[in-house]
């Protein structure tokens, strides 16, 4: 009997791993084509200035039935070249802990640092033991980076994909729903206005009310999920008022998470 039970456990573990891997493989292969078909302005060849491709960044921290953390979109790795800060390579994972030399100084993944300092530590959470992802799976290049990229390599046709964020986020919802189905999170925590509005289909509520950290139920593919919306780490980092308000939210949310996960 013991051998049978161990075999069953191993098969269940493999099944759990295989559905995650299948999603990662399919999203990596098809995500860009899917976005390009839905949004005609999205470039056919999506490249960094050195010609290497901007690729989908898939979740690698994928614990099921815990908390799913959802950011807006990945950042990129940057290089200080000829006095210009330019994106040169893909991040390794959503909100990953990255540290590297950019040609002038040590650079870290700033949003992850803020998440650790202002969010995860206050919630008494090791985020790497949960599910970490982004709604949009690729780095979105803003105009300020495009201006620098053109000076490095003017032969690439750059597109301000950052201004398409809302539309790309809406076009990405089906991929997000697949993640939710696989993860089956007990709680979904989102970061930033766009993610909250797209997931809730709410484009009217005032920002502070929308991002108040209250846990509510939202129906996704017919199932009710606990979900709360928090401000993006960048606005918490840059704006003292948002930072102070976020501290109050964290105290309340920490207790609510404790109650949620201590239920029998």
CA distances from 233 to 15, 71, 227, 243 (A): 34, 9, 18, 9
Between 121 and 6, name the one with better pLDDT.
Answer: 121
Percent of the chain with pLDDT over 70: 94
Q: What is the mean pLDDT of residues 204-213?
A: 93
Interval 213-237 mean pLDDT: 92
* pLDDT: which is higher, 17 or 111: 111
Q: Is the pLDDT of residue 157 over 70?
A: yes
The predicted structure's pLDDT at residue 5: 56
CB 186 within 8 A of CB 260: yes
Q: What's the pLDDT tens digit per position in 17-70?
A: 799 999 999 999 999 999 999 999 999 999 999 999 999 999 999 999 999 999
Q: Is the pLDDT at 11 greater than 70, yes or no?
A: no
**Angle in degrees, 0-180, between the axes of helices 193-200 and 173-183, rounded to the nearest 10:** 80
pLDDT of residue 171: 98
Task: Decide if pLDDT at 2 tops 70.
Answer: no
pLDDT at residue 132 tops 90 = yes
- The answer to whether residues 38 and 31 touch, using CB atoms and an 8 Å cutoff, is no
Averaged confidence pLDDT in the chain: 92
pTM of the full structure: 0.91
In the predicted structure, residue 200 carries a pLDDT above the cut 50? yes
Model confidence over 174-199: pLDDT tens digits?
A: 999 999 999 999 999 999 999 999 99
| Confidence check: pLDDT of 231 > 90 | yes
* 13 pLDDT more than 70: no
Q: Can you give the pLDDT at residue 127? A: 92
Query: Model confidence at 1, in pLDDT bands (50, 70, 90)?
Result: very low
Task: Give the pLDDT of residue 168.
Answer: 98
Q: Which CATH number fits domain 2-261: 3.40.47.10, 3.40.470.10, 3.40.640.10, 3.90.470.20?
A: 3.40.470.10
Pairing between β-strand 99-101 and β-strand 223-230 as defined by DSSP bridges? unpaired
Q: Which two tokens stand for residue 142?
A: 């803003």
Residue extents of the structural domains in the chain? 2-261
DSSP readout, the chain? -HHHHHHHHHHHHHHHHHHHHHHHHHHHHHHHHHHHHH-TTS-SS-B-TTSPBP-------B-TTSEEEEES---EEEEEETTEEEEEEE-SSTT---EEE-SSSEEE-HHHHHIIIIIITTTT--GGGSEEEESS-S----HHHHHHHHHH-TTS----GGGGHHHHHHHTHHHHHHHHHHH--SEEEEESHHHHHHHHT--SS-HHHHTS---EEEEETTEEEEEEEE--HHHHHH-HHHHHHHHHHHHHHHHHHHHHHT--
pLDDT at 3: 47
């Amino acid at each position: 009997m013991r051998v049978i039970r161990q075999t069953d456990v191993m098969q269940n573990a493999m099944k759990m791993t295989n559905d995650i891997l299948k999603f990662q493989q399919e999203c990596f292969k098809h995500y860009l084509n899917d976005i390009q078909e839905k949004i005609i302005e999205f470039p056919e060849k999506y490249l960094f200035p050195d010609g290497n491709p901007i690729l989908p960044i898939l979740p690698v921290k994928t614990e099921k039935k815990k908390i799913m953390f959802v950011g807006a979109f990945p950042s990129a790795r940057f290089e200080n070249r000829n006095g210009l800060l330019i994106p040169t390579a893909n991040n390794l994972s959503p909100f990953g802990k990255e540290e590297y030399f950019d040609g002038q100084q040590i650079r870290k993944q700033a949003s992850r640092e803020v998440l650790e300092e202002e969010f995860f530590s206050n919630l008494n959470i090791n985020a790497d033991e949960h599910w970490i992802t982004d709604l949009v799976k690729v780095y979105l290049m803003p105009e300020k980076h495009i201006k620098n990229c053109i000076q490095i390599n003017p032969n690439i046709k750059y597109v301000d994909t950052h201004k398409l964020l809302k539309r790309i986020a809406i076009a990405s919802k089906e991929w997000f729903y697949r993640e939710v189905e696989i993860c089956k999170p007990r709680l979904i925590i989102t970061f930033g206005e766009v993610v909250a509005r797209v997931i809730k289909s709410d484009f009217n509520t005032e920002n502070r009310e929308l991002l108040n950290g209250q846990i509510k139920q939202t129906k996704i593919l017919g199932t009710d999920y606990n979900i709360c919306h928090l401000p993006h780490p960048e606005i918490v980092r840059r704006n003292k008022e948002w930072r102070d308000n976020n501290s109050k939210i964290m105290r309340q949310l920490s207790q609510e998470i404790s109650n949620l996960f201590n239920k029998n």
